[in-house]
Structure formats: C-alpha cells, structure tokens
Amino acid sequence: MTQPVVAKPRARRPRDRKQSIVLAASQLFRDRGYHNVSMADVAAEVGITAGALYRHFRSKGDLLLHAVRNGLEVMDSTVRGATDIDEYLRAAGVVALERRGLPTLWQRESRHLPDEQRAQLRQQLNEIASRVGVLVARERPDLTEANVDLVTWAVIAALGSFGLHRITLPKGEFQRIHFELLSTVVHCRLADETADEDKTPAAPDTFVDVQLPRREQLITNATRLFDERGFQSVRMDDIGAAVGITGSSVYKHFPTKEDILSTALRRGDERMHSGMAAALQHGSTAAEVLDLLLRSHIDFALEHSRLIGILTSERDELPDKERKHSLRTQRDYAKVWNRLLRECHPELGPDVAKIVVDTVFIVVNSLVRMRAMRERSDLRARLIDVSRALLRYPDCGTDA
C-alpha cells in the first residue's frame, strides 16, 4: 500500500529577518565602504539569497537609508527613555558599543544618499541632539545656551569614538571608562572669557587677489569634493569643472584620481607631523609638549577641516602601498600622543590611553566640521577646554 506523501512544514521566516539584514549591512558598510559592498554580499552575510533580500529592500541605497535611520531611531529611543544625563550616558554607551558602525554610516556613507533623504536624517539627528541638550542643561545650569549646544555635540561625537576601537578590554571596564569620559565632557569647565590667542582668528575683510597655481586649485577642490561626496563618487570631470577646465586637462597635472588623493593625504599627514615636531622641540615637560600638541592639532583641524574629513574617511581608497604608509604615519602620530599621556598619567595602561586620545581626536575632528560650531569665534578655546579635561583622565573629576 502506497504511503501518503506528507508535505514538510515550510520553514518560517525569522521575525527579525529585516533587522538582521540592517545590522549586517551596517557592519559591512562600515568595514568596507558603501561602494565596495553589493547586495549579494549582504545576503551572504545574513545567509539568504539575493532575491530574498530584494523582498525587503528594493536597492542598496534603500538599505543604506534604513540602516542609518534605524540607528538614529535607536539613539532617539535611548535619550527619550533617560530621566537624567547619567542614565542617558550609561544607556547610550551600551548602544554605542553594540552599534559601533552608526557614526561611520552617518559621517561617511550617508553622503551617498540623495540630498532630500540626507536632510531628513540630519533633522532627525538634530532633534536627538535637542533632547540630549535638555539633559545637559538640567545638569549644567551654569552653561550658556551656546555652550550647552557645544557640550551636547561633543558628547554625541565622543559616543562615536566607540567605533574606532579594536581593543579587547572586558565589556564592563570598557563601558565604565567610556561613561567616565562622557561624564568628563558633560562636566568640563568652559571658561567665560579667554585670551585673544585662544580665539579662532576672524577672516580678514580684504585679501591679496593672487590666484593659486592650477595644481593647487585642483588639490583644494578635489579635497572638498572627496569630503562632500566620497572618493568613488567624484569623477575627474567633476574635479576639472570645479576649477574651470575639462576633465582631460586634469591629467596634465595628475596621472590619476588616486594621485590627487594621495597628494592631499600626504600633505595632511606632513602638516600634523610638522606640528608634532614643533611641540616636541618647544615643550620642556611631557605635560607642556602634550598641551602644545593639542593646540597644534586643533589649529590644523580648524584650518583644514576638509583635509580632516578625507584623512578620516578616504585612506582606504589609496593603492595598497600608499595606504599602508599613510596608516603607519597616522599610527606614529597617535603613538606620540599616547606616550605623552602615559608620562603624564603613569597609571594608565596603553589601551586606556588610546581610548582617551581617540576620544579627543573624534571630538575635535567632528566639531570643527560642523557649520554652526565653526561660526563661533571661541571654538578654539572651547575645544582646548574640553580636550584638556579629557586628557586629565583619570584625574579629571568634575570641573563644573
């Protein structure tokens, strides 16, 4: 007698499949860059077919939009659920460790979204910052509205430093250190008045009308375009058009687009190392050298915010040999900071010193790239205040 055929029950699709896709895509975009990730890569990471992926997201751009928006929604939920600044900092630190790719998605990859979508996401981020600002103002009633805004964005930037680390500290210790650093930002003393040399110089009313050589114009405008759009989204025609020549004419000055990027990054590295050499020459103690180095870095970041942008986001686009050289140069720069900090605070281990220095870098580098911050004549002084407080860790206390 023929046995009846019993159909196998259809495997149920996991309820969190869409969320798994978003998290996997976020990680891949962070590690490889948007242009270097395909929908097939994301599907393989999740363990599904590309066809199944397209049932959830109609394009890679749609997936990027959902990845950034999802991260912002998690940030928003975190601040809405906090009753005071300490509760927020602890909760946000947990989220930042779990979603390390979000700052990179916002700062680097969201450039590939249409302007309208990016504007909507920026508005969403501004609303989150406003809610964080309420908690900061409640904790720091001594601050002006403008300084509440600065501290708020410094906290949000510092949360982004979580994504920089590949350090294997115990999770609880990691969260404690970051909470203490975030709390340091919230409670740092911001001077009411500063000497003239600590203010960002105002732009002169007049200037000498001497045009830069064409090669310099190309480097300057390419740096701006790479920062705004990302290296892979910029064509030689775009660079040529920015200085009023054809794309083919750019090749008279640079053989490849990579050569322009390499030249710009090399100059950025050289300028930072030049400032470091001057600090080492003129400081007589580790604390003096570190303070001079801090001022040098802030001055460089204020003057060359576009270079800061591509130094932090476009190195991976260099040919392998040049990329390794640039990364080694960056590590050498950071190592001097770490060594000086540990001389000032011998109790710090190398991992903790790196976390502190990375936090300083991301706070400075992020705030100088914000238009509203750059309009402040006292931005240099305020960045020095916040950074000095961080560099006093673990003896920072509360300076309010």
Domains 17-139 and 190-199+213-391 equal at CATH topology level: yes
**What does the pLDDT read at residue 258?**
95
For residue 66, what are its two tokens? 């959902």
For residue 155, what are its two tokens? 């906290």
Q: 């501004």: which residue's tokens?
A: 126
**Cβ(51)–Cβ(60) under 8 Å?**
no
Q: Cα–Cα distances in Å, from 208 out to 165, 204, 211, 337, 387?
A: 45, 10, 9, 37, 35
Query: Among candidates 315, 279, 317, 281, which has minimal Cα distance to 300?
Result: 279
**What does the pLDDT read at residue 316?**
87
259-287 burial by CB neighbour count: b if 16+ within 10 A, else e? ebbbbbbeebbebbeebbeebeeebeeeb
**What does the pLDDT read at residue 13?**
54
**Could you give the CA distance from residue 159 to residue 100 in angstroms, rounded to a whole number?**
9
pTM tops 0.85, yes or no: yes
Q: Distance of alpha carbon 142 from its chain centroid, rounded?
A: 29
**What does the pLDDT read at residue 195?**
44
**Could you give the CA distance from residue 48 to residue 4 in angstroms, rounded to a whole number?**
32
Stated as kind and residue range, the H or E segment containing 155 is helix 145-160
According to DSSP, residue 237 is labeled H
* Backbone phi and psi for residue 195, each to the nearest 5 degrees, phi listed first: -70, 155
**Could you give the CA distance from residue 94 to residue 78 in angstroms, rounded to a whole number?**
10
**Could you give the CA distance from residue 202 to residue 377 in angstroms, rounded to a whole number?**
7
Q: 């058009």: which residue's tokens?
A: 241
**Could you give the CA distance from residue 116 to residue 148 in angstroms, rounded to a whole number?**
28
The three-class DSSP label of residue 219 is helix
For residue 171, what are its two tokens? 């999770």
**What does the pLDDT read at residue 210?**
55
CA-based angle 384:332:322, to the nearest 5?
Answer: 120
For residue 240, what are its two tokens? 């040529």
Q: Cα–Cα distances in Å, from 139 out to 151, 335, 390?
A: 11, 35, 18
**Cβ(144)–Cβ(163) under 8 Å?**
no
Cα torsion at 70, 71, 73, 78 (round to 10°)? 150
**What does the pLDDT read at residue 211?**
75
Per-residue pLDDT of the chain (400 residues; tens, 9 = 90+): 445 544 444 444 556 788 899 989 888 988 888 888 999 999 999 999 988 999 999 999 999 999 999 989 999 999 999 999 999 999 998 888 777 777 778 878 888 899 999 999 999 999 999 999 999 999 999 999 999 999 999 999 998 887 666 677 788 888 899 899 999 999 999 986 444 445 554 444 344 445 789 999 999 999 999 999 999 999 999 999 999 999 999 999 999 999 999 999 999 999 999 999 999 999 999 999 999 999 999 999 999 999 999 998 898 899 999 999 999 999 999 999 999 999 999 999 999 999 999 999 999 999 999 999 999 999 999 999 999 999 999 875 444 4
**Cβ(341)–Cβ(391) under 8 Å?**
yes
CATH fold of 190-199+213-391: Tetracycline Repressor; domain 2 (1.10.357)
299-312 burial by CB neighbour count: b if 16+ within 10 A, else e? bbbbebbbbbbbbb
**CATH of region 17-139:** 1.10.357.10
Domain edges within the chain: 17-139, 190-199+213-391
**What does the pLDDT read at residue 396?**
55
